[in-house]
Amino acid sequence: MAILVTGGTGYIGSHTVVALIEAGQEVVIVDNLSNSKIEVVKRIEQITGVLPRFYQIDLLEKEQMRKVFQSESIDAVIHFAGLKAVGESVTMPLKYFRNNLDSTLTLLELMEEYHVNHFVFSSSATVYGKPKRVPIAEEFPIGEVSNPYGRTKYFIEKMIQDYCLGNPHFNACILRYFNPLGAHQSGLIGEEPDGIPNNLMPYITQVAIGKLSHLKVFGNDYQTPDGTGVRDYIHVLDLANGHVLALKKIQSNPGLVIYNLGTGKGYSVFDIIKTFEAVNKVKIPYTINPRRPGDIDECYADTTKAKKELDFVAMYTLEDMCRDSWNFQKTNFKITDSSHDAK
Ligand code: NAD
Ligand code: WQD
């Protein structure tokens, strides 16, 4: 029996495929390559010695997806595929609703048709919006999100919840990731954003390599110890391991379960800059800029439930995340990439 991983050539998906193969699972990947490269499949083979079966299919193409369910013996689905750029979702909300909602609906319908009853979904801490306090526990209210991307995560969570109510045989695990960083230590897979990065770490690594001139720190007047935004950064290898544990959990037929995947520690933008500079011996010039609309002061996870019920504990440190992100950037930097610089 195989695990179908949608979005398996993407950033978190590819690391999870490696972890699944290393845990002895058979993996089938579906990805339309809208935000990843076919090369990743070979790199997974380089790391694990196993070439996962790969289908280049858009999840919106139901008939093509049906063929995958017909020809593969699928026991569980881990659903990473989705669009994730917050800013783009504000200007192109329909694209986000169509892609993220429709793809999930297609998948759930095919799972019902082929009696596949184990599902893991990539949600996000973004569903909590601005929390009333930290750390954030799973039972905190969700839905007050500040952008269409976050709204797709909220809607899909509700879709899964309703489906679980209607189908008592269905077992789903919703994982709410905090802020993933880092890369596989081999430097073969990692995060490769197109254009100017939106997220902090890819921006920092591109400053470090000289592709961008300096980091713009978005606000130093937040209600945090040093005034910059605080987040719960978690190594992508820890996240990948969280999916292996989630899969094990849903095999015990729990119905619907929801977990935060974070470290439980908050670090500020200045913490990240200082740690990156110290670990990698590279200077990160920065300027203080106005706050970015929609940003909150602080966000970090209450990890009690994931620890108790999933046996999940993040192992990697912020130093590891900074080292591995930089290693991936150095290993994969192409001179031809150095075209845009946001000075
Ligand atoms: P990613 O963009 O690297 O990976 C997503 C993959 O899905 C890409 O390879 C893309 O080509 C594919 N895809 C998108 N739409 C598709 C479609 N219609 N059919 C087939 N394939 C499609 O993103 P990631 O960082 O690996 O994120 C994985 C999941 O985790 C996403 O659902 C994202 O929303 C969620 N998430 C990410 C973060 C983060 O900060 N990276 C945080 C919380 C949640
Ligand atoms: C982190 C901190 C910024 C860039 C986003 C999504 C969220 C989730 C994870 C998918 C903040 C500051 C950033 C920069 C900066 N994705 N920053 N200069 O905003 O916590 O979460 O990614 O689900 O939905 O919103 O992550 O990395 O963008 O920002 O000062 O150039 O770094 O203000 O305090 P965020 P981030």
- Rounded Cα–Cα distance for residues 118 and 74 (Å): 10
Using the predicted structure, report yes or no on whether residue 58 has a pLDDT greater than 50.
Answer: yes
Say if residue 337's pLDDT is above 90.
Answer: no
Q: Which atom of ligand 1 is nearest to the CA of 9?
A: 9
Instruction: Reply yes or no on whether 300 is catalytic.
Output: no
Catalytic residue among 96, 128, 149, 233: 149
Centre of ligand 2 to C-alpha 218, Å, is: 9
Which tokens sit at 30?
Answer: 């579906």
Token pair for 108: 């759930």
Q: Is the pLDDT of residue 118 over 90?
A: yes
One DSSP character per residue, 212-252 reads SS-EEEE-S-SSSTTSS-EE-EEEHHHHHHHHHHHHHHHTT
Q: 85 C-alpha vs ligand 2 centroid, how far in Å?
A: 11
Torsion sign, CA atoms 282, 283, 285, 288: positive
Distance between CA atoms of 110 and 123, rounded to whole angstroms? 20
**Ligand nearest, relative to CA of residue 204:** 2
Distance between Cα 199 and ligand 2 center (Å) = 5
Q: Which of 246, 9, 6 shows the shortest CA–CA distance to 118? A: 246
pLDDT one-digit tens code per residue, 5-48? 999 999 999 999 999 999 999 999 999 999 999 999 999 999 99
Q: What is the pLDDT of residues 189-242, one digit of tens each?
A: 999 898 999 999 999 999 999 999 999 999 999 999 999 999 999 999 999 999
Per-residue pLDDT tens over the stretch 67-102: 999 999 999 999 999 999 999 999 999 999 999 999
